[in-house]
């Protein structure tokens, strides 16, 4: 994103590259960085004792509209990741998380045509979470539905490469019995 004016002193910006804006008036350095997100691997054990199920949500907005996604979203400026995760899950599903444990982080892209490519990187933090199994799930905010999936039978239309990498890591950790549910 190429700003025309310094956010600190308001002077016209004359020096800019894809990673750094420098104000020649006040010397302020603005770095183009990845936008932080938090995602919840909401899991439950199957009654048959097989591998756990993961709750996925169907996106109601672009990018990847109608694709399955890990519930979560962007953090607000200055928001702690776990606070943002709880807020996003309440907004999207209307439920409170009972437990949260960070298990994976990856840089991904949030593709949008209306912003420059260098501004669409995200830093995705993934947490293994649980909810009260008797809680009724809602589809609110920017999702249209939610559904439980076994890690062996996930849908093919998954949004975002970061989600696919996180699911692969979750399955690997589960196979090694490095995840306690």
Residues 38-68: tens digit of each pLDDT: 999 999 987 777 778 999 999 999 999 999 9
The structure tokens listed for 131 are 């909810």
- pLDDT of residue 181 exceeding 70, the answer is no
pLDDT for the residue numbered 117: 72
CB atoms within 10 A of CB 22: 15
pTM of structure: 0.89
Class of domain 34-175: alpha beta
pLDDT (tens digit per residue) in 102-139: 999 999 999 887 777 767 899 999 999 999 988 899 99
Domains in the chain: boundaries: 1-32, 34-175
């Amino acid at each position: 994103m190429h700003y025309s004016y310094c956010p600190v002193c308001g002077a016209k910006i004359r020096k800019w590259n894809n990673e750094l804006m420098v104000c020649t008036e006040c010397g302020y350095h603005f770095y183009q960085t990845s936008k932080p997100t938090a995602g919840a691997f909401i899991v439950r054990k199957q009654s048959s004792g097989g591998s756990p199920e993961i709750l996925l949500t169907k996106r109601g907005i672009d990018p990847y509209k109608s694709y399955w996604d890990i519930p979560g979203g962007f953090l607000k400026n200055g928001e702690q990741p776990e606070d943002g995760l709880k807020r996003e899950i309440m907004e999207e599903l209307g439920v409170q998380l009972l437990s949260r444990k960070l298990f994976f982080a990856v840089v991904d892209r949030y593709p949008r045509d209306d912003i420059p490519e260098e501004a669409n990187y995200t830093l995705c933090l993934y947490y293994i979470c649980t909810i009260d199994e008797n809680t009724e799930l809602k589809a609110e905010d920017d999702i249209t539905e939610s559904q439980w999936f076994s890690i062996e039978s996930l849908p093919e239309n998954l949004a975002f490469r970061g989600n696919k990498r996180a699911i692969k890591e979750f399955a690997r950790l589960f196979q090694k019995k490095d995840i306690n549910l």
